[in-house]
Every structure is written in structure tokens, then in C-alpha cells.
Amino acid sequence: MTNAPRWRVDCIVGARPNFVKIAPIMRALRSDGRFDVRLIHTGQHYDVAMNDVFFQELAIPAPDINLEVGSGTNTEQTARIMLGLEGVLAADRPDMLVVVGDVNSTLAAALVAAKLLVAVTHVEAGLRSGDRTMPEEVNRLVTDRLADLLLTTEREAEVNLIREGIAPGQIAFVGNVMIDSLRASLERARPVRETLEAHGASAAFLDAVKEGYGFVTLHRPSNVDDPATLGGILAALSDISRDLALVFAVHPRTRATIAANGLSTLIEGGRILATPPLSYLQAVGLMREAKLAITDSGGVQEETTALGVPCITVRDNTERPITVSEGTNALVGSAPERIRAAAGEIARSGGKRGRVPEMWDGKAALRVVEHVAAFLLRRGC
């Protein structure tokens, strides 16, 4: 390795889904003698306590730079990240910028790098829901148009990219880095009872979960911003909880709508435990043992497929279709009767018997690093 080139690679994170994806990539880059790596945190998710827990649990090194942009609208956040990042990259240009996922930090970093003529690798490229009302879909589309190297989690993503005019030579199938983190964390996942007790579960609830439980997350604006839609979903959860106790990790956005519209009575009564957002190892422990998951999260769709846990996705579409075609996921929309029916079917049949998709094997980050190195060698860096 002494005669091998050393490349400077900057990795961008900004929100909790990024942390899970960047952790194995950072480890793989830093264990490879060809790279000097800098971690830049945009501060898009700015809850210090939750950030610290995720960094600790995923063994992510402290960020070299934190832009601390904080909250705001999608446009405000994107603009502040761009303004902060431009000076950082212009003052100390990397050979490559690595972005992951589809959050505002991903889009903003890709835009800045493109303006400064810094090469961009997009990990998790080519995923499409077909729904441009989702901010994440716009972020995905624009980031992929700007990226120089596009690394995919499933083969259908390459089909999407080629259809959109991306040259096949820019695309490589590497697998799913989220599953790298999941596999690496299973032995350290928090025991279910420990997590429940930490969040105030009653003795009656602890007794109930001995017969099984479901794990719930909801945060998409289309589900949680409109009180009528959220109220219907919560009513369905209340009905489901009569037969199956539910652990509901409540997103701040969801909690705000519940509080502002008097919806808390729908999830009170002992069979639903509403918790704050969970740490990664707490969430993994709960998902692994759950009878089912009810979610609108892309990450939970993937993680439950990898764990073999039936998943009810409260959306009409998904950018992760392989979780439906091969995995344990079912799209049901937000209609309460469809959510109830899906949960009832899982109770009767045990749910879909999916399989773990191709190359979701815990080694995706190693393939990411090899493709980044090959790209930089071709560039003559």
C-alpha cells in the first residue's frame, strides 16, 4: 500500500437515516490504506442527545465539521447547507464527496459539489417512488442527475437510472449498506424488556407483550400532518391493539399533530405504549422480536425484510419495491380499514414469507469502497 495513491474523501451526513448508512462506509474507508476521510455533519437533525446516541451506537467517529444548520422548511434547510458547505469544500477540496440516501443534506451537498466540480458518489441511487409530492423523491432525482458514480441497492434501481438517461458505466450494484449496519448491530441490540421499562411500560403492558407485539413508526407528512388522516390511522392502531400490543415510537412531527388536535385519547388505554424516538439499538431490538411492523419509513421496510418480520407500509407507493416483490412488505395505503385488514391477515397467516434480497449480505460498504477507488483511478486522481 505504500506506493498506492491516497485520496481525500468527504462523507456527508445530516439526518438519522444517514447515520445508519454512513457508519459502515466510514469503517470501510478508514480501514483501507488508500483514503483520508473527513466526516461533515450538516446538522439537519439537531437533537444533540439523539445524535450522540446514534454516533455512539453505530461507532461513527465524531464529525470533523458540523455546519449546525438546524430546522426549517425544505428550501431553507437546503439553502443553509449549501451556503455552509460551499466554503468548506472550496477551502479544502476532496477528490470525492460521498452522499447517502435522499434527505435535504444529500441534495444540498450534491449541488455544491457539482458547482465546484468535485466528483460525487451517491450511495442508494436509483430508488424511485414515482411520487413527486414527496420531498425525498425530488432529492433522489436531482442527486442522481448530478452524481458521477451511482451505487445501487437493488437491480431495478439501475433500470430506473438508465431510463432517465444515466450512462450504464456510471452505475454499479453494491447492495444495501443499511443492512451492513443492521447485521453488525444484532448482537448488541437492546433487549425488548429493557427498552420498554426505560420508556415507562406498565406491568400490564409488559405482561401483554409476552404474547407478542407490533412495532409502529409514522412520520410522513401525508400521513401525520392532516388530523383527519392521522386520526383514522390512530383509530386503526387502537383497534389492532385489542389483539396485539403495540410499541409506537412517536416522531416529533406526529406528536405535534396529536397534541394540537386532541388525538391522544386514540392511543391511550394500556395496549399502546407511545415512546419518544428510539435509539438505533433499541429500535433494532424491538423490530427483531416483533410480530409485525406498521410504518411509513423506507428504512423500516428494508430492515424488516432483512429480519423476516412482516411489514405493513402505510403508503400507496414505495421507492423500495424489492421489499414488496421479494421481502415481507405490503403496501396498504392510509385507509383505516385496509390497515386493520392487513394486521388481521398477518394474525391469521403469519404474514408474507419473503427472502433477503441479493447482496444484502453485510458487505455492501466494502463494495462501495472498491467502486470509489476504481472511479478515482480512472480519473487519474
pLDDT of residue 51: 77
Active-site entry in 122, 219, 251, 371? 219
CA atoms of 304 and 328, how far apart (whole Å): 7
Q: What percentage of the chain carries pLDDT values higher than 90?
A: 91
CA atoms of 280 and 269, how far apart (whole Å): 27
pLDDT of residue 5: 65
Decide: 34 and 62 in contact? Cβ < 8 Å: no
pLDDT tens figures, 113-155:
999 999 999 999 999 999 999 999 999 999 999 999 999 999 9
Q: What is the mean pLDDT of the chain?
A: 95
CA atoms of 214 and 69, how far apart (whole Å): 35
What letters, b where the CB count within 10 A reaches 16 and e where it falls short, cover 145-163? Answer: ebbbbbbbbbebbbebbee
pLDDT tens figures, 35-84:
999 999 998 866 655 678 899 999 999 999 999 988 889 999 999 999 99
pLDDT of residue 3: 59
List of domains in the chain = 7-175+360-379 (3.40.50.2000), 187-349 (3.40.50.2000)
pLDDT tens figures, 114-124:
999 999 999 99
- Is pLDDT at 1 greater than 50 in this prediction? no
pLDDT of residue 44: 80
Grade residue 188 by pLDDT with cuts at 50, 70 and 90: very high
The number of beta carbons lying within 10 Å of the beta carbon of residue 315 is 21
Q: What percentage of the chain carries pLDDT values higher than 70?
A: 97
pLDDT tens figures, 288-322:
999 999 999 999 999 999 999 999 999 999 999 99
Mean pLDDT of 26-36: 96
- Catalytic: 219? yes
- Is pLDDT at 338 greater than 80 in this prediction? yes
Distances (CA, A) of 375 to 31, 44, 97, 152, 370: 19, 29, 12, 15, 9
pLDDT of residue 270: 76
Mean pLDDT of 352-365: 96
User: Angle CA(317)–CA(323)–CA(328) in degrees, nearest 5?
Assistant: 115
- Is pLDDT at 210 greater than 90 in this prediction? yes
